[in-house]
Amino acid sequence: MAALRLKDIQVLVQPELADFGRRYDEWIQNTQVPVVDKIIGFLGGSRGKLLRPTLCYLSARLLGESNERTHFAAVVVELLHNATLVHDDVVDKSDKRRGMPSLNALFGNKISVLFGDYLLAHSLLAMLECGDTRVFAILAETSRRLARGELDQAARSRNLDMDEETYYRMVANKTGALLGAACRLGGISNEADEQQLEALKDFGETIGVAFQIQDDLLDYTGSEGLIGKPAGADLRDGKITLPLLYAFEDASGKEIRQVKQWIRKRGRAEIRRVVDFVRAASGVERAHQRAVALGEEALARLEVFPPSPVRDSLADFSAFAVNRSY
């Protein structure tokens, strides 16, 4: 069976996604501020996977057709997501994003942070345009959770302090919260009831955690050409993720101290040793198994909706999230 491709999953909402690009651009263009227009022009050719708009539209389509409120919800979520990406690249000192130079690599940290604030401000304005206080409440809470997740990770990367419970909480805040919000807002746009909204939230959050686990293990298995960042980049940033936590479970205290020493050195040879250690200890395989299990849990949340091609597309999204190579 051929591997699922995201563009195949997006077929049902391709008209919405095509319209989304125009609407998103309208929100942030025509600023008459040269540096902002220059950044927007640079970003125009790199929209990313559009995971969150895809989930927003598919969630809405479980209940009917996409509408103006759905479009606004999709734009809001993507604005907030992109604002966090810009800030993350500054914090992580990343020089690449989606295989291209990051904003901070080209424009410097100060302008990048301010542009992230610019996107965040536009997200707030779009929330108001939705005309539903629930939208504002959901995204305000999501923003707070995103910040908590990033602060938690930044603080722990200093001393390589992480355990499995903390990892799941951090990932739920960093990735799960925004995917859960995208699904829930799609449901709100088509008058979903409370049971349906809770199911959509749980699906999005759970698949978000699974997606992040797969993303983390790609740091041990992926290539820069596929994942858009150098392999081992998370380790160089001092990030201990689930594959390494699993590898630590059967390791001695001496081995754990040695691995952490390699991470602190951050040299290419040392990072290679960490990757080899994790692979030999089956950390990658176990992390993938956990991602697959979470994908199945996410699908169970959708049983409140009748079978349909849209629900099948969400099932395909779940399979893509935990089996992708990019």
- DSSP, collapsed to helix, strand or coil, labels residue 101 as strand
Identify whether the C-beta of residue 243 lies closer than 8 Å to the C-beta of residue 217: yes
Top-confidence residue, 133 or 326: 133
Higher pLDDT among residues 293 and 96, named by residue: 293
Convert the pLDDT of each residue in 270-300 to its tens digit.
Answer: 999 999 999 999 999 999 999 999 999 999 9
Burial of 3 (C-beta count, 10 Å sphere; 0-12/13-18/19+): exposed
First to last CA, the chain: 18
E strand spans, 51-120: 96-97, 100-101
pLDDT for res 237: 84
Task: Return the ∠ at Cα 166 (arms to 238 and 77), rounded to 5°.
Answer: 85
pLDDT band at 118 (very low <50, low <70, confident <90, very high): confident
Query: What's the average model confidence in pLDDT over 196-203?
Result: 98
For residue 157, the one-letter residue type is: S
The pLDDT of 53-68, averaged and rounded, is: 96
Q: Is 131 buried (19+), middle (13-18) or exposed (0-12) by CB count in 10 A?
A: exposed
DSSP SS3 for 100: strand
Confidence of residue 3 (pLDDT cuts 50, 70, 90): low
Residue 58 has a pLDDT of 98
Q: What is the mean pLDDT of residues 254-272?
A: 93
45 has a pLDDT exceeding 70:
no
239 or 98, higher pLDDT: 239
Lowest mean pLDDT among 110-124, 166-180, 244-258: 110-124
User: Cα separations (Å) of 273 from 179, 220, 260?
Assistant: 34, 11, 11
Contacts of 41 (CB under 8 A, 6+ apart): none
Instruction: Compute the mean pLDDT over every residue in the chain, rounded to the nearest whole number.
Output: 88
Per-residue confidence (pLDDT) for residue 124, from 0 to 100: 82
CA–CA distance, 105 with 156 (Å, rounded to integer):
25
**What are the contacts of 252-256 at 24+ separation with CB within 8 A?**
none
**Domain segments of the chain: what residues?**
6-323
pLDDT of residue 225: 44
The pTM of this model reads 0.90
**pLDDT higher than 60, residue 75:** yes
Element (H, E) at 130: helix 109-130
Tell me, what's the pLDDT at 4?
78
Distance CA 58, CA 187 (A): 9
Q: Which residues contact 31 (CB under 8 A, 6 or more apart)?
A: 37, 40
Euclidean distance between CA atoms 143 and 163, whole angstroms: 24
Does domain 6-323 sit in CATH 1.10.600.10? yes
Its sign, for the CA torsion 232, 77, 14, 175, is positive
Q: Where does residue 119 rank: exposed (0-12), middle (13-18), buried (19+ CB within 10 A)?
A: buried
The model's confidence at residue 1, banded by pLDDT at 50, 70 and 90, is: very low
Percent of the chain's residues with pLDDT above 90: 58
Per-residue model confidence (pLDDT) at position 228? 47
Quick one: tokens of 275? 């990757």
User: In this predicted structure, what is the pLDDT of residue 230?
Assistant: 58
In contact, 194 and 65? CB cutoff 8 Å = no
Q: How far apart are CA 256 and CA 250, in angstroms?
A: 10
Strand partners, 101: 96
* Average pLDDT value for residue range 187-206: 97
From 210, 212, 205, 211, select the one nearest 183 (Cα to Cα). 205
Q: What is the pLDDT of residue 227?
A: 45
> What's the pLDDT tens digit per position in 125-160?
877 777 778 888 999 899 999 999 988 888 887 778
